[in-house]
Chain A
């Protein structure tokens, strides 16, 4: 969705709570805001606003360039969203902690190489021994780094398996917020494409580069991990930098206009990066939530423009909030047109907006089309990805607020997962998860 859970961060964090039976009046009353959509309630008023960029724009690098792999945080979170995604969730098939650690070290080394535009292994796709399988699969020969980022996360079942066993001696190190997401009304979650012990998000501006990276990491993991499910995404549905134009999702609407952006440093610290109130090993990391959200394309396409715009709460052409003129005009929940509120209270923007959800998340989703279903309908939608400091006060809080979202009529959530993404790999001696396993 569009903004399935989209948080519309333009305002700042209002008081949460009181979602049940939300009515616009009650809501507005609670926050005491009478004007503009920006509810400056609370001390942090306005932090999320896109005008508050406090870092230089990070976009601007050529789409073929390499994104640095080392850093305080993992790349692929606030990195300006690339155009393509290959996401994979894996289960660990061994009980050997030593083998798992070795794999994380091997993966880090391969990721360091591939994100720099090099082969997965030190020998390369075609320079090895004639009788040995090559240490790179070769389909990225001649392709530039293409902005490849590889981001790793650890699922709840890595710490305690579904049957309750503590396979790797990690149970005591599970961060409290890392638990399976609760069920939401209308969910049609398929367990086979949900969850996972580990995940790897590969994003790049060339689909072949993203697929190559996942394929090689999976190959390296033979005997230690098994692919549980995977998802390809072909077009970003969020902009994560002020330097990026806002893309359209498969509903045809601009998506991510009011997303958290890389330039909002202090806001990211508040809503995206794990701080000192959580597990030590996770500080500087983030929680990743994925939801495969199928769009019911055919009913949507046969609904009127008015219905579509009232469902989303924005104009389809400009992306402007209903009742406003331009895409980045602030949402005004009080504005009335012909005696009706311009932004309907069941619209997605109304319910997902930080003003009303009380929180903010960094969305980084991708459109997908997985062919068609057995009835000839497009099997398409949004592979929703969100990063947040805590799932409970991030995605879960937003999603709970969407119970009455008009958009629910046009979507089905079919897969769900949550992962804790460790902080960045600092240097050549560091590896994914070192602080957790060390």
Chain B
């Protein structure tokens, strides 16, 4: 992220003016459910390290509350996906022993539920059929739905971002170098997924995610990477408490702002592309996490965030340009497969351990995917 100039186009295109704020008092914090009113029922989900039992495989159209209980030993997540893994609702960060709720409105159609023990991979999937009359939406309604869908996604991420950043900050302030190192890429994952939103708030982003040397004269080097430098270069948390406090305050502020922000469909399209550009310019090169070399965590998060933005637009795109959707699906899958080779126990291979050939493979897949995703904006603008 962050060199300030890169984000200027987002702000200058008059897009900021297009931002709308939506009063979104929907689901409770930490849950990314759509609010379609009161839930008609409660659906129990029994999640463990190797199972994800959803009480009902068929439900009527309407709003449902999923109660996800994690009896496993790993932190898990629960998702309801429409076709193409478009996220209809998700709840993150369900610790062992906890129960969390997800409120989600589901029109008639076929869906999949997924638990992700360890918060990685495709998850343990089941089919879910929603019966009833399929709603027929106009183009404009479909696009409005895209914005709402993506806003739900953002809200699901901001909750986890705040929790994980708090845990990271706590470790830093407790002088727990190893604990902080372990939490650093985890907290950043939630940040990197929603960067298109974060970048709209141009003042905060550099404070949270600026790299050394990005600051104007007289500005301090702060944020994630300031602490990263201390942890990996100095192997210490000494002197980092004020930076940790400031980081948490800034993250809190951006979370509040992001929760109230709805992106226009065109911003979703541009954001999806911008996230892939982030990968190409910052993660493939190892510039992002130059001290910890945890760039592939950010890579995975950018990719997920990009896919979430594209999938929010999916119902519209499937009508407008089905061939493009097919190509994008194929190329997201190819990129994920390329990345998957570097998954390790509990994380990802460090950037400085990747060979040139491996980086080339990642780079090629991102180049191809970007080429496809770069066409989305015009399709959206064409309506």
Contact = CB atoms under 8 A, between A and B. Distances in A.
Interface of A: 93, 129-133, 192, 219, 222-224, 226
Contacts of A223: 331, 367-369, 371-372
A131 B380 contact: yes
Given A93-B364, A223-B331, A226-B364, A131 B371 contact: no
B360 A226 contact: yes
B381 A130 contact: yes
A130 B269 CA distance: 14
A129 B382 contact: yes
A289 to B, nearest CB: 25
Contacts of B378: 129, 131-132
Contacts of A219: 371
22 contacts: A93-B364, A129-B378, A129-B381, A130-B381, A131-B266, A131-B269, A131-B377, A131-B378, A131-B380, A132-B375, A132-B377, A192-B356, A219-B371, A222-B367, A222-B370, A222-B371, A223-B331, A223-B369, A223-B371, A223-B372, A224-B368, A226-B367
Contacts of B331: 223
A89 to B, nearest CB: 13
Contacts of B285: none
Contacts of A133: 374-375
Q: Is the interface of B mostly helix, strand, loop or mixed?
A: helix
A302 to B, nearest CB: 35
A224 B369 CA distance: 11
Given A133-B375, A192-B356, 8 more contacts: A93-B368, A129-B378, A131-B266, A131-B269, A131-B377, A132-B375, A132-B377, A223-B369
Interface in B341-383: 356, 360, 363-364, 367-372, 374-375, 377-378, 380-382
Nearest to B374: A133
Contacts of B269: 131
Question: Sorted from nearest, which 10 A-B pairs have the closest CB atoms?
Answer: A223-B368, A132-B378, A222-B371, A131-B381, A131-B377, A226-B364, A131-B378, A129-B378, A133-B374, A222-B368
Contacts of A226: 360, 363-364, 367
Contacts of A93: 364, 368
User: How big is the B interface, by class?
Assistant: 20 to 34
A219 B368 CA distance: 9
A226 B356 CA distance: 14
Contacts of B369: 223
Contacts of A129: 378, 381-382
A344 B318 CA distance: 74
A93 B338 CA distance: 12
Contacts of A130: 381
Nearest to A228: B360
Contacts of B266: 131
Contacts of A132: 374-375, 377-378
Contacts of B380: 131
A223 B377 CA distance: 19
Nearest to B366: A222
Contacts of B377: 131-132
Interface string B107-144: 00000000000000000000000000000000000000
Contacts of A224: 368
A286 B331 CA distance: 36
A131 B377 CA distance: 6
Of listed B331, B356, B367, B375, residue having the most chain A CB within 10 A:
B367
Nearest to B357: A192
Nearest to A226: B364
A223 B370 CA distance: 9
B59 to A, nearest CB: 38
A436 to B, nearest CB: 24
Nearest to B372: A223
Contacts of A192: 356
Nearest to A132: B378
Nearest to B330: A223
Contacts of A222: 367-368, 370-371
A357 to B, nearest CB: 37
Contacts of B374: 132-133
A192 B359 CA distance: 14
Contacts of B360: 226
A201 B356 CA distance: 25
